[in-house]
Chain A
Amino acid sequence: MDTAEKFDDKTPRSDTPASQSEGEQAMENSTRYPEQTIGSPYVDNAKMSMRDVDVFYGDKQAIHGVSLDIGKNEVVALIGPSGCGKSTFLRCLNRMNDTIDICQVKGSLHLEDQDLYDPKLDVVELRARVGMVFQKPNPFPKSIYDNVAYGPRIHGLANKKYDLDEIVETSLQKAGLWNEVKDRLHSPGTGLSGGQQQRLCIARTIAVSPEVVLMDEPCSALDPIATAKIEELIAELSESYTIAIVTHSMQQAARVSNRTAYFHLGRLVEMNDTETVFTKPEHDLTEAYITGRFG
């Protein structure tokens, strides 16, 4: 199993990890970044399209000119070693980076025709369309029902109690949690197990019917059984939602995603069909990473 990433991408850190192995050092020296991303980062039926995205934390550049598309109803996995900027990139997609004062995003990011960084766009509206599931399960310290009902309530999606009940039930069913919690909807969400909490968070996210769901290492804090459940869930959800998932587990990326993007030190090195990336990686760095030589 993968190991949990100890740092989140909020804190800028140095470009080169201190504990570089010698092999990695050699790799850095001998390999150059490709001028352009290798593979096929663009698709025809793009739900989200990003072009030349640069992200800065203060003076330090965390993302260098990343361009890629996320197709409708596909699952895109973002993989790469710690500190490669994949979480930072993901958080640009629903502007969660806005909360960090020193963070600056440049380039063009679109959700269908909507420019994400259009000053006229209300971030509340964007986040209702692009939902997010976080690394650590973070249910509100409220009841299971209130957790799921929170999004619909603040957006006024349900006027009657009956409608709200239905949204809560469907969301929990979609998240595969309904049968486990239907008898205790009003007990606290924090009382569930870790895996159940994460599925509750997924239910909470899909309760507002977003078009895109971003997942930032959703399984890194879970055991293998809970992970398997979430992965199953991702496969089911991809029928109705577009999903971008950051993961440290290559097996997970291989299992759940249609396409995989490999990030290295803030650059998008290679992006292709998942199968191609894992069986015939074109770039040396990608190959080194997926064969486990570093990362």
Chain B
Amino acid sequence: MSKTTEQVRKSLAKRYRAEKMFKAYGMAAIGFGLLALVLLFTDIIGKGHSAFFETYVQMDVTFDEYTLDIMDVNDDEELNFANYDGLIRDALREKFPGVDGRQEKRELYGLVSTGAGYELRDMLRADRKLLGQTRTLWLLADDDVDVYVKSSSDDRLESRLSENQKTWIQTFEAEDKLELQWNKSLFTHGDSREPELAGIWGAVMGSLFTMIVTLLLSFPIGVAAAIYLEEFAPKNRFTDFIEVNINNLAAVPSIIFGLLGLAVIIGLFGMPRSVPLVGGIVLTLMTLPTIIISSRAAIKAVPPSIRQAAMGLGASNMQVVLHHVLPLALPGMLTGAIIGMAQALGETAPLLMIGMVAFIVDVPGGPLDPSTVLPVQIYLWADSPEQSFVALTSAAIMVLLTFLIAMNTLAVFLRKRLERRW
């Protein structure tokens, strides 16, 4: 055995050990990441899953015209302002005849959500022959009832409900007239002070309009800037200065962009507050550096041989860019744009500055309607005292995460789909 072989054999064990250690570190790092992810998801799904269902109670409701206080059932005006809550109160009193006294009555009426009255109104408006008839209906329960029903027997002891209310709920439960139904309002309503009526649809639409504005502004501007800087700009101090500043811009805290939006876009240009248009402009400023940097990297990755081939054939600079560089760089640019958009979708701070944190009940119909966005909605709900909002917050986080995962999947898919080999 030669001396070299001897030395090599000696060192081999050491090398393999080092390699194993390195692998172990890597796996530990990945394991830690996965563990954190699993914990996050278990926590959020554990807290949030219950918000997708709400408690309903079954009662016989009589559409009594004296209680409703309407003369003419065909008069829409009268129908709008009729006393629907009275119907529910009647139904509750009928079900629990022994209830007496102001306090006790208030407790009884508190079992059913204020939203239940609106449902009765909608029913009557849809079918006016209901007047005077009695129907067995599922009515939306109040959020405190909802929390009580969903919690375990231990937690029920800590409920905010009075003893009377607990007895009544147990009566409903015993008669099998209480059940959990799919939470419609979560995906159709805007925000509300009543957790059982609050929905994220307003925030989803607000996010959607904001994202559309951001994409329409940031992608063309970012790509144009990247192409100019890479392909046309002379290399001098001025372009170096621009490059340094783009990189700096990427590191600016996002709330600064919010302040800028407040001072310049709202203050100077007089645009309305709380609207997705302004939100989109602010997020564009924030996303631009990401898109420019990733687009430039994508352009740089186009092999110079392709450029030379096109130029050798007599293609002008513009033709080289449009026919060859851009198609080859597009997957990279799109990936960068989608990652930038995902970042913008999760951004809260700059939007607080421009007033998108307002309490807005209506679902926005366009980029000029006041609205809020998903992460801000999460922030608002996390800040609310009612216990039901805990589950709602987690549910909203689940929706936001679904959006983010969908966007990232789209980025991967687009890259795979558009990527060309050379």
Contact = CB atoms under 8 A, between A and B. Distances in A.
Contacts of A204: 309, 313
A225 interface: no
B314 A138 contact: no
B422 A127 contact: no
A132 B312 CA distance: 6
B264 interface: no
Given A96-B308, A134-B309, A141-B420, A124 B235 contact: no
Contacts of B305: 134, 136, 138
B302 to A, nearest CB: 10
B313 A127 contact: yes
A141 B422 contact: yes
B323 A128 contact: no
Contact of A208 (B313, B319, B323): B313
B314 A101 contact: no
A127 B323 contact: no
A19 B309 CA distance: 33
A140 B306 contact: yes
Interface residues of A, number: 27
Contacts of A238: none
A131 interface: yes
Interface residues of B, number: 21
A228 B316 CA distance: 34
Contact of A155 (B312, B314, B324, B422): B314
B312 A101 contact: no
A131 B315 contact: no
Contacts of A99: 307-308, 311
A111 B243 CA distance: 41
B328 interface: yes
Interface string A118-161: 00000011111001111010111100000000110011000000
Contact of B313 (A136, A141, A154): A154
B311 A208 contact: no
B388 to A, nearest CB: 56
Contacts of A131: 312-313
A150 B422 contact: no
Nearest to A94: B312
Contact of A138 (B306, B319, B420): B306
A124 B316 contact: yes
